[in-house]
Amino acid sequence: MGTVGAALIAQVARQREALAARCGRPIEVVAVCARSRTKNRGVDLKSMKWFSDPVALAREGDIDVFVELIGGAGDPARSAIAAALGSGKSVVTANKALLAKHGVKLAALAEKHHVALNFEAAVGGAVPIVKTLREGLAGNAIDRIYGILNGTCNYILTRMEQDKMAFAQCLQEAQRLGYAEADPTFDIEGHDTAQKLSILASLAFGSKVDQRAIYVEGISSIAPADLAAADELGYRVKLLGVAVKTPKGIEQRVHPTMVRKDSAIAQVMGVTNAVTIDADGIDPLTLVGPGAGGAATASAVLSDIGDVARGVRTAPFGRPTARLTSVRKAPMQRHEGGYYIRLQARDKPGTAATIAKRLAQQDISLESIVQRHGKDERPKNGSVPVILITYATTEDAVRKALAAVGRDRVIFGRPQVIRIEKN
């Protein structure tokens, strides 16, 4: 009964007649559960039965559907959902953390009791990506799915680019506006995106949900210089969650990524979410919309409830849990693609030749090289920023080349490396 719960109750009341017409029967909220009974939530709860224990509500005999909006990967959300499924009730949840950790087991329980486990709101807010993958593209083989799955990070990167602000300043602004938590680590270090990606990868490729199989890197290292360089080179930096089918298996990764400015995903700014799907037989499909907030999330929850009311029930992850395949964490060393590399190089003769030699030793070809000499960019330690854009190469080759450059002592500090996503 937080922001989303209150928004859901209000939307059910507003759409009562339309829902009955669309679903063939009325939808009514008959019981609720929350910590505080006296808190003013802006909705009328007088006609609803009150529970202090969510597990007791889940087992209540008079309800058809249990809606879980508690959050968290453990109890009480997990016990309440298991109780509802075990007593033959369908469940609608927005809990990405729980699904990322226990989704397969809960899906198996739903299958055992022949009830629905719906979770459109767990990924992308109002963006209907779960149903698109599970139902709309059931006849298409998917090659890659990638997207902006965290509005906080996208807001920070947008402000850094547009207003030339430092990361720390943008983060403070995001916290002030309520886009970022007091402890923003889960968002800015990529873990929220990883949980959502694990769910999408399962739907797209028929694999078990496993957040541990995802390489994760956040945005805290991104500097205004990276965004300025990206702009000059025709790119924009986004935190992407990417799952792609490769000859070595399913590669799942979360990291800052350069995307071409003329791509659909690059146009998505602020707190908005977007997901692009590459599938056989169709051009890339991009879904864009609000990824968080009470009204947006409640919209997705109510859509799932409507499916239950209509009698629609599909396997939670698109196929029976027994047919979901195991997935291992693909070593990032095997990743192939283009790279942006920013170095603080010693401003002396031979430095560029040394860097080029180390790249050549790893068969890395350069698409462009930019050496900046602006007075505002030249540090006092006698170095100059050098920006390299590579053609497609491997992560292993890049790491080995940069390690050799470091041993040559021709650069200061740690190189900045951002992967370039083909789109």
Backbone angle region of 358, left / alpha / beta, with phi > 0 → left and psi within -120 to 50 → alpha: alpha
What is the rounded CA–CA span in Å between residue 118 and residue 98?
13
- Residue 348 a catalytic site member: no
- CA atoms within 13 A of residue 122's CA, in its CB half-sphere: 35
Distance CA 26, CA 277 (A): 35
- What stretches of 347-396 adopt beta strand conformation (E)? 366-371, 383-390, 393-394
DSSP conformation class of 120: G
C-alpha R_g of the chain = 24
Torsion angles phi and psi, residue 19, rounded to 5: -65, -45
| Helices and strands, counts by H and E, the chain | 14, 16
* Given 196, 245, 261, 357, the catalytic residue: 196
Of the candidates 44, 39, 47, 34, the one whose C-alpha atom is nearest the C-alpha of residue 9 is 44
**Interatomic CA distance for residues 72 and 80, integer angstroms:** 12
Q: What Cα–Cα distance (Å) separates residue 14 from each residue in 7, 18, 276, 298, 327?
A: 11, 9, 32, 13, 43
Contact (Cβ atoms closer than 8 angstroms) between residue 69 and residue 301:
yes
Which letter, b or e, does each residue of 369-399 get, where b requires 16 or more Cβ atoms within 10 Å of its Cβ?
eeebeeeeeeeeeebbbbbbbbeebbbebbe
The CA-atom distances, in angstroms, between 28 and each of 87, 92, 319 are 20, 15, 30
Token code pair at residue 203: 């739907």
Residue 114: left (phi > 0), alpha (psi -120 to 50), or beta? left
Three-state DSSP class for 299? helix
191-205 and 96-112 helices, crossing angle to 10°: 30
Please list the active-site residues: 196
